[in-house]
């Protein structure tokens, strides 16, 4: 199993490194350049025109690697987790296409995105319960306690799924930030899926749990390879195509490993970023004052005076700690 995990990461990494130099010039020729928000940090205006929609680069690497290395690529586990990634990636691609190609600054309207995202969330949770026996319970992190929610499970977990996918999208605001944080989150799921296979899982039906570890390793390899082109100063941005797809990959892994609540720990950086936006909006609308100089949180530290690369490195380290804590939370529940 360990050999397939390393191989999946390596194949995704190599494919991404090969595709990058081939696709980035094409994106530039097609003038798929990033539009920079004027209300953002002024120094970001220099990034205008940098090719975007680069998430396609690592998505190809992840899919090819995962489906090639998986023990049974046609298993429902693999079909669901890959579909979750590509489904959310498709929503991001449509949004990017409207903004970049059709030159409509707003892209998809918020309600259109949410309809698509919640539809995918309900389909994922329903299929995982109906055909894989994942159940409608939640496992409390660091414990063996199962909290049965019944039908409430579907809307509750759908909120987590949509929240995390959009939070990953919010995190994609600095060069290499989303790719690096997702690299560590994916490595955390490699550990969780490996523990589920070797130490016993949380639910009775886990036929191809090892393939979920392979998929998570492919995600990590794809993100690592993408950093070659996306780290500061970025040569390409992943766009919503990439960030929503990465969110879809993580929530798919969470549902299929019964770690929906642990994802909130393992993906702590995403949660913090989303909370910073919520706090900022509520504070400004109720008091007219801002808690942060700018949200999401990474922009606050930029405006405080931190170099962009310093912000990214610190957030990476926090993501690493969150990933370790998430694996510990899972392991504590199967002792």
pLDDT tens series, the chain, 335 aa:
688 999 999 999 999 999 999 999 998 888 776 665 555 565 655 566 688 899 999 999 999 999 999 999 999 999 999 999 999 999 999 999 998 877 776 778 899 999 999 999 999 999 999 999 889 999 999 998 999 999 999 999 999 999 999 999 999 999 999 999 999 999 999 999 988 877 655 544 454 568 999 999 999 999 999 999 999 999 999 999 999 999 999 999 999 999 999 999 999 999 999 999 999 999 999 998 999 999 999 999 999 999 999 999 999 999 999 999 999 999 987 76
Are 167 and 274 in contact, with CB atoms under 8 Å apart?
yes
Residue 105: what pLDDT?
66
CA–CA separation, 68 vs 51, rounded Å? 29
Q: What angle do CA 90, 14, 256 make, to 5 degrees?
A: 50
pLDDT of residue 209: 63
In eight-state DSSP terms, residue 51 is B
- Euclidean distance between CA atoms 74 and 70, whole angstroms: 9
What's the pLDDT at 108?
A: 87
Q: What is the DSSP letter of 267?
A: T
The DSSP annotation for 184-226 comes to HHHHHHHHHHHHHHHH--SSS--TTHHHHHHHHHHHHHHHHHH
What is the pLDDT, as a whole number, of residue 263? 98
Tell me whether residue 240 is annotated as binding.
yes
Tokens of 276: 């910073």
Q: Are 41 and 174 in contact (CB under 8 A)?
A: no
d(CA 147, CA 159): 17
CA dist., res. 282 & res. 259, Å (int): 30
Instruction: Tell me the Cα Rg of the chain.
Output: 19
3-state per-residue secondary structure call for 285-310? HHHCCCCCCCCCHHHHHHHHCCCHHH
**Which residues make beta-bridge pairs with 73?**
none
DSSP state of 101: I
Is 35 annotated to bind a ligand? Reply is no
Kindly write down the DSSP assignment for every residue of 6-21, as one continuous string: HHHHHHHHHHHHHHHH
Q: Which two tokens stand for residue 214?
A: 């392979």
Cα 128 to Cα 63: distance, rounded to the nearest angstrom: 20
């Amino acid at each position: 199993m360990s050999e397939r995990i390393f191989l999946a990461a390596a194949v995704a990494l190599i494919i991404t490194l090969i595709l990058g130099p081939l696709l980035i010039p094409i994106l530039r020729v097609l003038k798929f350049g990033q539009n920079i928000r004027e209300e953002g940090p002024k120094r970001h205006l220099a990034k205008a025109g940098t090719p975007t929609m680069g998430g396609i680069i690592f998505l190809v690497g992840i899919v090819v690697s995962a489906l090639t290395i998986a023990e049974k690529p046609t298993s429902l586990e693999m079909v669901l987790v890959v579909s979750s990634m590509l489904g959310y990636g498709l929503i991001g691609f449509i949004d990017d296409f409207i903004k970049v190609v059709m030159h409509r600054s707003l892209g998809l309207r918020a309600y259109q995105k949410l309809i698509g995202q919640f539809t995918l969330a309900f389909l994922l949770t329903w299929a995982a319960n109906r055909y894989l026996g994942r159940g409608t319970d939640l496992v409390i992190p660091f414990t063996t306690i199962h909290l049965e929610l019944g039908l409430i499970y579907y809307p509750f977990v759908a909120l987590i799924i949509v929240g995390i996918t959009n939070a990953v999208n919010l995190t994609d605001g600095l060069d290499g930030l989303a790719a690096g944080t997702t690299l560590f989150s994916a490595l955390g799921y490699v550990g969780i899926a490996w523990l589920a296979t070797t130490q016993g899982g949380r639910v009775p039906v886990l036929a191809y749990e090892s393939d979920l570890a392979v998929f998570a390793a492919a995600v990590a390899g794809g993100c690592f390879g993408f950093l070659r082109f996306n780290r500061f100063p970025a040569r390409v941005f992943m766009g919503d195509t990439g960030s929503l797809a990465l969110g879809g990959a993580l929530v798919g892994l969470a549902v299929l490993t019964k770690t929906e609540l642990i994802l909130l720990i393992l993906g702590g950086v995403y949660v913090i970023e989303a909370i910073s936006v919520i706090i900022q909006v509520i504070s400004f609308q109720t008091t007219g004052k801002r808690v942060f100089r700018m949200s999401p949180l990474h922009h606050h530290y930029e405006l405080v005076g931190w170099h962009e690369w310093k912000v990214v490195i610190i957030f990476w380290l926090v993501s690493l700690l969150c990933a370790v804590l998430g694996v510990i939370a899972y392991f504590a529940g199967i002792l």
